[in-house]
Chain A
Amino acid sequence: MNILPILDTPAEVVPGGSPPGPIVLSTRIRLARNLRDFPFPGWAKEAQRREIFARCAQAAQDTAPMKKAYVLDLAALDDLEKQVLVERHLISRELSAGAQGAGVIISRDQSMSVMINEEDHLRVQVMRPGFQFKRVWKMADALDNGLEEKLDLAFSAELGYLTACPTNVGTGLRASVMMHLPGLVLASQMEQAIRAVNQLGLAVRGWYGEGSEASGSIFQISNQQTLGESEEEIIKRITSVLQTIVEQEQNARAKLMESDSAKLLDKIGRAFGTVRNAHVMTSVEAMNCLSLLRLAADLGLLPETERSRIDRLLIESQPGHVQLAARGTLETQKRDVARARFLREQVASLPVLNFDRAFEKN
């Protein structure tokens, strides 16, 4: 197996910069853009798709933020490499299943990517750790401006940026945050929260799918509407909802500590014991344990600086990454053994949980 250099770097949810804080893991913005003079990817002929790829890849590489970027033709990657890119949120599943001419440009620090010939000709994506909409929007806007210098984009004064699916027309912007909400999940308030968020026109999804509670209490919240509001208005709206959710999560955590601290600390202690000692572990179990370790860092049981290690492990214990580390495909059972071994090694150097801190802090 030929491993791409980009995949041999650690999976950073934190591509440089400040460490992630509690509750909000990362902020992401994506912009859907299309060339004016070509059919959308789903309708374009193979030769056109290749032409689109060539033009867009060149334009993207010419922008300042994409200096020395990785340029990947999806057809040249094997399934495992694609899966790893999906697990790092650098490409979508739709792109990884894509036909000829599908590709991606990824910046050196992996904070920016431009998918080509996904549902739209261009999907510009910027991702940063923690809550950073202002910064992320600025970066996405600059990259978009750079592309627009070189490419004639499909745009109408009335409807804005024209996209293959009318759900993205207008700004073409999807703003999303990845949130860690174990408090709301443990207090059984998550369903209620999802309903409230949906009513405000925002969507709630899991991080990697598979039922909400089963995936480490991590949720992705994003806008659904793209037309009729400016980029700043969309970001403002999602920010205010986000702040409410953060408050609710903090309240839920405080209440859990107040009413039944033994139960909560027991869960965290057991999760710590499990990652330290387990010899067989599924990815769902790994996510649930790591989720509780992240909560431990938030409560002061672990040093706050360990949060970025835990975030990295959340990604590196996904099936694709476990096989990448093993340098080949593994069947499920062997994968679970390899995952458990990897986690044991990785958390061996973590300090012992300091349970007293939980009471000092709260």
Chain B
Amino acid sequence: MGESLHCDLCGKPAQVHLTQIVKNQIQKVDLCEECAKTSGVTDPEGFSLADLLAKSFTGPAEESEGANLVCEQCGSSARDFRKTGRLGCAACYGALQPVVLPLLAGLHKGARHKGKAPARQWRRLELTREIESLERQMQEAIKGEDLETAARCRDQLGALRAKLEGPVAAS
């Protein structure tokens, strides 16, 4: 039918052509039958063009910044991300930042999280900060030979550390 288009993912002749408009931007994708299937276009549950574009954004042409980055935590690379559209682990967001961050602006409403946070993680963060400040106080008290204050700090530290470890031990 008319011009022959090639699959954006593998280059074979394209059979499936999709257009989606997001924020007044027209996005077009052409796919071969196989890639259409594996990319989930035929799956009404999981498909969005944005997902697919996240992959083709980072398509073969772009070999510039961050192309050789590798995440030390899990060993996955910017190249892996380009191929699959998926990151390897949570640390990849830091390790592959130059590749990932520019994408987010195009995909989302903003670049900063405004939603909920895991309560326990905030509690832990607060506890950690409290412990750090108490440790400083204790060191100063020891330096100043104020043993009474140092002892009080030590007791409080013990209680806070137990609190910090409590829920962790349970998991």
Contact = CB atoms under 8 A, between A and B. Distances in A.
Mutual binders A and B? yes
B40 interface: yes
Contacts, number: 162
Interface in A161-187: 161-162, 164-167, 169-171, 173
B120 A149 contact: yes
A166 B113 contact: no
Interface stretch (B15-23, B62-70, B133-141, B144-152): B15-23
Contacts of B76: 39, 43
B115 A230 contact: yes
A161 B121 CA distance: 12
Contact of B87 (A141, A148, A158, A164): A164
Interface residues of B, number: 49
A279 to B, nearest CB: 29
Given A39-B89, A92-B45, A150 B170 contact: yes
A208 interface: yes
B2 interface: no
A167 B54 contact: yes
Interface in B139-171: 167-168, 170-171
A149 B120 CA distance: 6
Contact of A173 (B48, B109, B115, B170): B115
Given A119-B86, A199-B24, A229-B109, A166 B115 contact: no
Interface stretch (A68-76, A219-227, A242-250, A322-330): A219-227
B20 to A, nearest CB: 6
B130 interface: no
A165 B47 contact: no
A288 to B, nearest CB: 17
B108 A225 contact: yes
Interface in B64-119: 74, 76, 80, 84-90, 93, 100, 103-104, 107-119
Interface in B17-34: 20-24
Interface string A289-313: 0000000000000000000000000
B29 to A, nearest CB: 14
